[in-house]
Amino acid sequence: MNREAAAAQPYEFKDTYQFRFTRKIADGGMGSIYEAHLFGSEGFEKTVTIKTIREKFTGDRDFVDMFIGEAKLVADLVHQNIVQIYKLGRIGNQYYIAMEFVNGINLQEFSNRHIELGTKVPHELGAFIISRVCRGLEYAHTKRDKHGAPLAVVHRDISPKNLMISAEGEVKITDFGIAKARNLMKDQEGQVLMGKAQYMSPEQAQYMPTDARSDVFSLGVVMFELLTGESIFGTNEDTTVILENVVVKDIPRPRDVNPDIPEALEKIIMKALERNLSKRYQDAGKMGYDIEYYMYHKGYGPTIVTLEKYMRQLFPHLYKAPLEKEDQQTTSRPVKVTDSERKMAEANTVIDPKPPAKK
């Protein structure tokens, strides 16, 4: 066999990954998020995000399976509007996911900033943000496996905290932790209710099977809140009350809350919020098309550059030099960490161990 033919043959090699944790970004209900640096040969370095399972849940097999399933699912979801996953690793009994680092804020923080300023989100920019989420969902919903069979992905947790806006004006969907996909993620529908109550679709709130249209409804709720600044189904009420509101409460027209919203956008929001599945948008792509037609059919409309310029005004700290950010971090209040997280941080590295020997 000549050299060219040999090089074309499948082969494998083993390598290790080294990460240095630089700061904790956030604690979630069942996991923690860190900013870290990935190191390679010859001084290679890349900023990544590390997601870990909180120590008290490492023995919960169902949760660990969801964590692993998220990594396996999103590994093949390669799209500019979805946060990319690089690696699933394990240190002892603690799993971690290395993923794309997004220097930015989530949509909840974006909305909160406008509340602080006493202003509304510009409807053109709000529409642009939602249109990008539509394209990310369209890709995920229509994704097929290596054999060409539909994966039937449903995110099931579309909410402001799971939608990111980068400093460059890119919009990205994150956290597929409770997503379902054929033969990959457990759906447990009819048995377990997962997600944020105020953003659920009526079918999800009633433990019924969900499909891509459920994510469309959730996105309609997000779009309503983004452009009006008001919640549809409540936030401080008991979860049972919110779930009932999702199923039966009259949905107000967006223009009754914010008259500045154009009629065309109101029509799109109300179609996304149809409780009747046959009347709702049948896919996120069609919803995205209608928003894009509204933005661009008369000519020039908002782009990622437009959103970046706006972000610079609202969140100037995102654009400061790294040294300035480090100074801010050293004076910030420390975040409590668990024993296992402290050991990982004190070591400053995470070295992926060799895979266990096959039995």
Active site residues: 157
Question: In sequence order, what E strands does 64-198 have?
Answer: 85-91, 94-100, 104-106, 163-166, 171-173
> Are 76 and 157 contacting, i.e. CB atoms less than 8 angstroms apart?
no
Secondary structure letter of residue 55 according to DSSP: G
CA distance 194 to 159: 13
Q: Which 3 state secondary structure label does DSSP give 349? A: coil
| Amino acid, single-letter form, for residue 133 | V
Secondary structure letter of residue 122 according to DSSP: P
> Are 132 and 295 contacting, i.e. CB atoms less than 8 angstroms apart?
no
CA 162 vs. chain centroid, Å, equals: 4
> Are 24 and 337 contacting, i.e. CB atoms less than 8 angstroms apart?
yes
> Are 256 and 213 contacting, i.e. CB atoms less than 8 angstroms apart?
no
- Partners of residue 148 on adjacent β-strands: none
Sign of CA dihedral 63, 244, 204, 224: negative
> Are 64 and 49 contacting, i.e. CB atoms less than 8 angstroms apart?
no
How distant, in Å, are the alpha carbons of 156, 262, 273 from that of 202?
12, 26, 10
Nearest to 303 by CA among 52, 127, 114, 134: 127
